[in-house]
Structure 1
Amino acid sequence: MPFKDHYVIIGNGPAGNHAAAILRENNKDARITIISDECIAFYYKPKLTRFIAGEINKEELMVTSLESYRKKNIRLRCGQAVERIDPDSKTLFLQHMEKISYSRLIIASGSRARVLPSMSRYSDHLKFVTSYADVIEYKEKIQKAKDFFVFGGDLVGFKFLRMLTDMGKTVTVLIYPNAFWPYNLTDAMLKQIVGSLSKYTSDIIVKDDISTIDAQNGSYRVKTQKGIEKNVDMVFSFNGLSPNIDFAKGSGIDTDHGILVDEYLRTNIDGIYACGSCAQIYNRDIQSYTVSIGWPNAVAQGETVALNLLGDHKVVESTGRKYFDLEGVKIKTTWWEDIDDEL
């Protein structure tokens, strides 16, 4: 590859970082840039709850240091959000009118917290634990607060619940059966989850919904449709994730819930690829698109996309782990329910 090649990766998670590492291993001369809207280098998102609880420090949260990027001659641009893509000129437009040209582009922008449409009017009251920025903003408040209202019920939410319980906090949980959108928990699955969660808190609400959230002098009053009222210090929403792809809209890149790619992780536009939880990958067996979640899947896709960008013809494969455990209930690591069960 000529030196003029500039490989740009949008996103600084496991998919993007692994793609960058594979690109550098196989091409010592090309320019490689990772653009991240996060304010720090690559870190372990699954460890955020331990960081909040003070069990680990910032250094233990990190996967790689800034120095490791310099050693590999990979430029990392933190705190930079991509606003739009112009495939015709192969240009990314960042905030503050800055432009970056690329020869090949990998979109590995991950996902963001999903806000339910019914809760959008209360978005200013809701807190999330999906990024380091979220945690830095709320960490001290969480440690000082006593009473919490958690609604939703995805994997991160239940992990957060266990953390709060271990910290001696009082927690009310309202479980939404569709918190794993587009999954829906059956009554049997819901019963099993409630039974498992009862060891962390006895205040579990099911088959109800939030009616109002009112701010009152730094605290909140939450009312449900069935008349339950709770006065709490903080309200957290855990209702699954949505692919972070707003910047791709209007670019001509085909999208649905995520960026649509073939089994080689190629988009419909030459020279642009996508991987990780922001990508919907075509599955020839079911003739439909799937989105995979989880760290191992992201790493596998990062390697595949890098090799294919360099000229390989590698079909992406799912990792061995097809399910994760949600309080005793197995949840698939792909979003669509028509994938064949693998028990």
Structure 2
Amino acid sequence: MRYLIIGNCIAGINAATSIRNLDTRNDVTIISDEKYPAYGRCLISYYLAGTHREKDILLKEKDFYQTSHIELLLKNKVTSIEPESKRVVLKNGKKIKYDKLLLATGARAVPLGVEGENKKGVFRFRTLDDAKSILKLVPSSQRALVFGGGLIGLKTGYALKKQGLDVEIIVKSPFILSRVADRNSAQLITSWLIDNGIKIRTGLGPRTILGNKWVEGVVLDSGEKEECQIIIAGKGVISNMEMADNVGIRTHWGIVTDSFLKTSMDNIYAAGDVAETRDL
């Protein structure tokens, strides 16, 4: 009997812990395409700000996997599921058997969808490696533009300000946090950010990213040009549900599950950012 979990963030690691608490005999395997043990994605902005070290954002102690008898396969990307044979296929061609499969594949940042988005200096802030890549560019940068006024955009903007950069947060909505807060509440947070040296502009978005190989600036949809060396895409996320789609598992905004997180396919479950489940 093998419980196989794809994804090593909060949903995946909590599932593995709960399974091991209930079943000490059968195999538990976690597969992750990252090179790190489980860490808190919501904490990477603190790492970027310089207030937390890498070890401070880890979710478990170093010996957790060994002492819990959980097999951890890092730097391995799962490319497909074979439900008929109960196997998953890795990018290197290896196939791994499962009896129960949990998809905890998370989400990825929504692209800006503009010309020049693939230039160096444009980042989608989701992983610890993203934070490390941004930090490498900080010493040679003076100004950063953050597109998106949600929590990811605001926390990233604040982190870059802590690193000494001139930061401007640009949102298409009429106010920040428009999906989770009313205008009055958003204004309180806007005032705090401005008091801390961060500029906020609303009703605007990017049209074109300027520069040759590296970012040099952006043309806004108003026609204005803004100089910068770093651009952060913080305009929301998309569930990583392609593997489920490809085998006919029911999806919508995410992988659709019942109240027990079971998908429409036998022996396959989903949890975390990739899952869409019942609410109140």
Name whichever of 197-206 and 185-194 sits farther off.
Answer: 185-194
2:108 aligns with 112
Q: Does residue 153 in structure 1 map to residue 149 in structure 2?
A: yes
Cα distance, 1:67 vs structure 2 = 2.2
1:30 aligns with 26
* Aligned 1:249-264 pairs, distance under 5 A: 249-264=245-260
TM-superposition CA deviations, 1:75-102 (whole Å, max 9, x none): 0111111111111111101101111110
2:239 aligns with 243
TM-superposition CA deviations, 1:281-335 (whole Å, max 9, x none): 034x6xxxxxxxxxxxxxxxxxxxxxxxxxxxxxxxxxxxxxxxxxxxxxxxxxx
* Aligned 1:315-334 pairs, distance under 5 A: none
2:15 aligns with 19
Could you say if the C-alpha distance between residues 217 and 23 of structure 1 is closer, same or farther in structure 2, counting changes exceeding 3 Å?
Answer: closer
Structure 1: gaps of 5 or more residues: 286-343
Amino acid at match of 1:18: N
Among 138, 162, 173, the residue aligned to 1:166: 162
Among 268, 278, 282, the residue aligned to 2:278: 282
Cα distance, 1:56 vs structure 2 = 2.6
Amino acid at match of 1:214: L
- Distance in 2, Cα, partners of 1:179 & 1:94: 43
- Distance in 2, Cα, partners of 1:182 & 1:205: 14
Among 137, 140, 147, the residue aligned to 1:141: 137
Could you say if the C-alpha distance between residues 156 and 181 of structure 1 is closer, same or farther in structure 2, counting changes exceeding 3 Å?
Answer: closer
In angstroms, what is the RMSD of aligned CA positions? 2.5
Name whichever of 178-187 and 45-54 sits farther off.
Answer: 178-187
Among 196, 199, 208, the residue aligned to 2:204: 208
Cα distance, 1:203 vs structure 2 = 3.2
* Aligned 1:12-161 pairs, distance under 5 A: 12-116=8-112, 118-119=113-114, 122-125=117-120, 126-161=122-157
Cα distance, 1:121 vs structure 2 = 5.6
| Residue aligned with 1:282, SS | coil
Cα distance, 1:201 vs structure 2 = 3.5
1:198 aligns with 194
1:232 aligns with 228
- Contact 2:115 2:207 survives alignment (8 Å): no
Could you say if the C-alpha distance between residues 241 and 181 of structure 1 is closer, same or farther in structure 2, counting changes exceeding 3 Å?
Answer: farther
Equivalenced residue count is 279
Normalising by structure 1, report the TM-score.
0.74
Structure 2: gaps of 5 or more residues: none
- Distance in 2, Cα, partners of 1:149 & 1:21: 39
Could you say if the C-alpha distance between residues 258 and 82 of structure 1 is closer, same or farther in structure 2, counting changes exceeding 3 Å?
Answer: same
Question: Runs (4+) of structure 1 moved beyond 4 Å?
Answer: 178-182, 184-193
- Distance in 2, Cα, partners of 1:105 & 1:112: 21
1:336 aligns with none
- Contact 2:161 2:198 survives alignment (8 Å): no
Name whichever of 189-198 and 155-164 sits farther off.
Answer: 189-198
Name whichever of 121-130 and 161-170 sits farther off.
Answer: 121-130
Amino acid at match of 2:114: M
- Contact 1:86 1:92 survives alignment (8 Å): yes
- Contact 1:91 1:102 survives alignment (8 Å): yes
Cα distance, 1:187 vs structure 2 = 5.7
Normalising by structure 2, report the TM-score.
0.90
- Distance in 1, Cα, partners of 2:130 & 2:68: 29
